Structure 1
Amino acid sequence: MSSQRETGISLNHAPGGVGYKLLELPPELLTLLESDTPPVLTLESSTNSAILKNGTQSWGLRQKNTSNALILLKASSDGTTPSSSEVPEASLNAIATIHDTIELAPELAVAAPPVAKGKWHEKFARGR
């Protein structure tokens, strides 16, 4: 067809001002959330992270930085109304760039505090 242009798809940087975070779910939590009766989840704070809880199960939220950015794209058209003989021109908008994700790591129900063994320099400095 002679009316079609072979220019490719244009890519525009069009951030929407909305921040996005990707959340990596463990398989067992995903199964619970996709069930017919999804559970009620609660979010609590702790000394080093937030804790997502469901009954006796709990997961710590950890931020992971990635060396390769993830770009969220949204398809759009140029907004003009083509005549009946023209093909609408499609484009892609990069709406966000994500440099980190949130992972859920299983938390132990009752974690014993770590045993203080002393610092290396304190341990060996006494003998000098």
Structure 2
Amino acid sequence: MSTQDNQGIPLAHAPDGVSYKLLELPPELVALLESDTPPVLTLKPSSTAALLKTADKTYSLRQKNTSNALILLSPSGQACPATESDLANAAEGLKAIATVHDTVELVAETENARAPATTTRGKWHEKFGRSR
């Protein structure tokens, strides 16, 4: 029988109460933001969606739900123990601080384009609802 001295990485569930959204940026916008002269971004409302604008391009913000939740982790433990006894008892680990179930996607739009109207029925209803 083998034994294991490795106790693994301690993981604690410690939500921090902050609401997180994951923002998916198109590659061309990432390149602009990482350039030497990043553009000024502005958010504007529209009748159907929020719009993110650069000097020459407009993006519609769309929320996308995901079936696979993303768990945000943060390091835990004492980074700088105060005493020698704290150093012996310090256990580095991870805290699960939030779970994200949806992302915000940026979709390039023309100036006069409108985002599609949202419906209360999801894809399940489109596929299976007609037969019920």
TM-score bucket (shorter structure): 0.7 to 0.9
Q: Shift of residue 55 of structure 1?
A: 1.7
Aligned position for 1:107: 109
Q: Shift of residue 88 of structure 1?
A: 3.9
> Within 2, Cα distance between the matches of 1:56 and 1:85?
54
Aligned position for 1:95: 97
Task: List alignment gaps of at least 5 residues for structure 1.
Answer: 113-128
Aligned position for 2:30: 30
- The answer as to 2:9 corresponding to 1:9 is yes
> Within 2, Cα distance between the matches of 1:110 and 1:86?
63
- TM norm structure 2: 0.72
Q: Which has the higher strand share?
A: 1
Tell me the SS of whatever aligns to 1:28.
helix
Q: Which has the higher helix share?
A: 2
Aligned position for 1:75: 75
Letter in 1 for 2:97: I
> Within 1, Cα distance between the matches of 2:87 and 2:13?
29
Residues 54, 11 of structure 1: alpha-carbon distance in 2 compared, 3 angstrom cutoff: same
Residues 42, 82 of structure 1: alpha-carbon distance in 2 compared, 3 angstrom cutoff: same
Aligned position for 2:64: 64
- TM norm structure 1: 0.74
> Within 2, Cα distance between the matches of 1:55 and 1:22?
24
Tell me the SS of whatever aligns to 1:102.
strand
Sequence identity (%) = 57
Aligned position for 1:46: 46
